[in-house]
Chain A
Amino acid sequence: MAEKGVAQLWRKIKAIYTIQGDHCTTCDTYYFPPRVVCPQCRRKGQLEKYTFKGLGKIHTFAIVRQAPDTFKRQIPYIVAQVELDEGARLTAQIVNCDIEDVHIDMRVRSCFRKITEYGESGIIVYGYKFEPTMKVTGHE
């Protein structure tokens, strides 16, 4: 059976698997998701592909208790705005963290997780989520 949305997801794979965005060498700003032009420099901007290190801190967060069907297995769960060390900010789920432990400025690192599934026989969408950094060498 042909499935809708496959091409749309495929175009984003690089960006969502490895947190790949852009860096404008003109104004030294980092962007995620990738942009077509630098919103600040416009035609003077020079964008180059940039893979983020995946480290950052929680800018703000919310606890989700009413979730769509495909996320019911995970409630209650945390969705946060993460500010990456390079400056870009993105929205992501926080995993490996109890809801009572999450806080603003919490140090986090990206991890690879299943985001959703297109039904029982459809494709599986993978991508980034974030987790608190472990207090052991090499987790940052």
Chain B
Amino acid sequence: MVGIIGYGVYIPRYRIKTEKIAAVWGEDGEKLAKGLGVFEKSVPGPDEDVATISVEAARNAVKRAQIDPINIGAIYVGSESHPYAVKPTGTMVAEAIGCSPHMTCADLEFACKAGTAAIQVCMGLVKSKMIKIGLAIGSDTAQGRPGDALEYSAAAGGVAILVGNKKVIATIEHTSSFTTDTPDFWRREGQTFPSHGARFTGEPAYFRHVGEGARALLKKTNTTVDDYDYFVFHSPNGKFPVAMGRQLGVPKEKLEDSLVVRQIGNTYSGSAMMGLANVLDVAGPGSKIFMVAYGSGAGSDSFVIRVEDEIVERRGEVPTVQDYIERKTYVNYATYAKYRRKLKALG
């Protein structure tokens, strides 16, 4: 069956604490961090972007899967911060990891769920035997307007997932999606920062799409919350996935391992996939994972994943999510502003 044959992550080294951002804008940092459920977020270095993050994650995935990259038949990079408006990030990834030119490649965008959309595309190509292995990447260096609520969570990181049907470490048993035209968050062409509908991003957007998506897949698979060991929901902050879990009746402990958002913020296209990677780092063979990714605009992709025995021998091949979370250096707001090019005078 089609599934994950390897995965790898990358999180930049720099962090800024929520209270440091809050201090600049005259907010109560402690209260804000607790309310949002985001205590610090990752910040990309001045020479890091979606291409560099994607390459690092992809190299980790290839190393874990122990495959020859020339067997990769498709690369899809999902992001809303591709370095070029026109020139695919996937081409740089392919060259840097040593793929054959005889493969297909495209960049995807669907706010925070472009990475899981890439997984679905790869699943289709593998299932139809058009390719042997597909590489799906969700990666972002998320933008937040200075002083906007998003600035507290917009972070950087990436996850690469190799999809294939041989030596599968986690089988993707089912997937389904739920899509509508809901303008909760957007960025117009040429704009540096995104805009959003404030509270509108909650009930009619995130909660409706994640909730409907989850219920539809539970119904389709004739399962209940009790049939799963781990749940992963897209985490724009630490509050939304917990509230979603409560609505669906998910016990707190089944959600806990996916909540990396608390330490690294919202990695946008990498968000749900980062939660999944952290779960895959610890889940025992036979565990069942229920994941729902959400992308503004809006839609959700739901997955039922079963962890296979092979996962055990693939551990220790590459750094884990926790290894990257623990490798950190704090920066102040001035350095963060410099690295994120919020100081325009520097060019």
- Size band of the A side of the interface? 20 to 34
Is there contact, CB below 8 Å, between A134 and B96?
A: no
Is there contact, CB below 8 Å, between B46 and A74?
A: yes
Distance in angstroms between the alpha carbons of A139 and B49 in the assembled complex = 21
Q: How far is the CB of A10 from chain B (nearest CB, A)?
A: 10
Q: How far is the CB of B336 from chain A (nearest CB, A)?
A: 12
| Chain B proximity mask over A90-122: 1 for CB below 8 Å, otherwise 0 | 000101101000000000000111110000100
Enumerate chain A residues within 8 angstroms of B310, measured Cβ to Cβ: none
Enumerate chain B residues within 8 angstroms of A134, measured Cβ to Cβ: 319, 323, 327
A124-B83 CB under 8 A given contacts A18-B98, A96-B13: yes
Tell me, yes or no, whether B45 is within 8 Å of chain A by CB. yes
Q: When A and B form their complex, what is the total count of cross-chain residue pairs whose Cβ atoms lie within 8 Å?
A: 72
Is there contact, CB below 8 Å, between B92 and A73?
A: no
Is there contact, CB below 8 Å, between A114 and B319?
A: no
A126-B52 CB under 8 A given contacts A17-B95, A137-B316: yes
Tell me, yes or no, whether B225 is within 8 Å of chain A by CB. no
Tell me, yes or no, whether A136 is within 8 Å of chain B by CB. yes
Q: How far is the CB of B323 from chain A (nearest CB, A)?
A: 4
Q: How far is the CB of B8 from chain A (nearest CB, A)?
A: 10
Distance in angstroms between the alpha carbons of A139 and B326 in the assembled complex = 14
Enumerate chain A residues within 8 angstroms of B27, measured Cβ to Cβ: none
Tell me, yes or no, whether A5 is within 8 Å of chain B by CB. no
Which of these, B84, B96, B98, contacts A112 with CB under 8 Å? B96
| Chain A proximity mask over B43-73: 1 for CB below 8 Å, otherwise 0 | 0011111011001100110010000000000
Is there contact, CB below 8 Å, between B96 and A136?
A: no
Tell me, yes or no, whether A57 is within 8 Å of chain B by CB. no
Interface set, chain B 96-136, CB cutoff 8 A to A: 96, 98
**Minimal Cβ-Cβ distance residue in B for A72:** B346
A136-B45 CB under 8 A given contacts A17-B96, A69-B347, A126-B92: no
Q: How far is the CB of A117 from chain B (nearest CB, A)?
A: 9
Distance in angstroms between the alpha carbons of A73 and B327 in the assembled complex = 22
Q: How far is the CB of A111 from chain B (nearest CB, A)?
A: 6
A124-B84 CB under 8 A given contacts A69-B347, A114-B49: yes
Q: How far is the CB of B159 from chain A (nearest CB, A)?
A: 16
Q: How far is the CB of B209 from chain A (nearest CB, A)?
A: 34
Is there contact, CB below 8 Å, between B84 and A113?
A: no
Which of these, B45, B52, B316, B339, contacts A138 with CB under 8 Å? B316
Enumerate chain A residues within 8 angstroms of B83, measured Cβ to Cβ: 124
**Minimal Cβ-Cβ distance residue in A for B335:** A73
Which of these, A115, A136, A139, contacts B47 with CB under 8 Å? A115
Enumerate chain B residues within 8 angstroms of A40, measured Cβ to Cβ: none
Enumerate chain A residues within 8 angstroms of B339, measured Cβ to Cβ: 73
A138-B56 CB under 8 A given contacts A72-B346, A114-B47: no
Distance in angstroms between the alpha carbons of A17 and B96 in the assembled complex = 5
A74-B47 CB under 8 A given contacts A112-B55, A112-B56, A113-B52: yes
Enumerate chain B residues within 8 angstroms of A124, measured Cβ to Cβ: 49, 51, 83-84
Is there contact, CB below 8 Å, between A73 and B48?
A: no
Tell me, yes or no, whether B216 is within 8 Å of chain A by CB. no
A113-B319 CB under 8 A given contacts A18-B96, A124-B83: no
Is there contact, CB below 8 Å, between A98 and B95?
A: no
Distance in angstroms between the alpha carbons of A50 and B339 in the assembled complex = 35
Q: How far is the CB of B294 from chain A (nearest CB, A)?
A: 29
Q: Which B residues form the contact surface with A (CB < 8 A)? A: 13, 45-49, 51-52, 55-56, 59-60, 63, 83-84, 92, 95-96, 98, 316-320, 323, 327, 329, 338-339, 341, 346-347
User: What 7 A-B pairs have minimum CB-CB distances, sorted nearest first?
Assistant: A112-B55, A138-B318, A114-B47, A17-B96, A136-B323, A73-B46, A137-B316
What are 28 A-B pairs at a CB distance below 8 A?
A: A17-B92, A51-B98, A69-B347, A73-B46, A73-B339, A93-B47, A95-B45, A95-B47, A96-B13, A111-B56, A112-B56, A112-B96, A113-B47, A113-B48, A113-B52, A114-B47, A114-B52, A120-B347, A126-B55, A126-B92, A126-B96, A129-B47, A136-B319, A136-B320, A136-B323, A138-B316, A138-B318, A139-B319
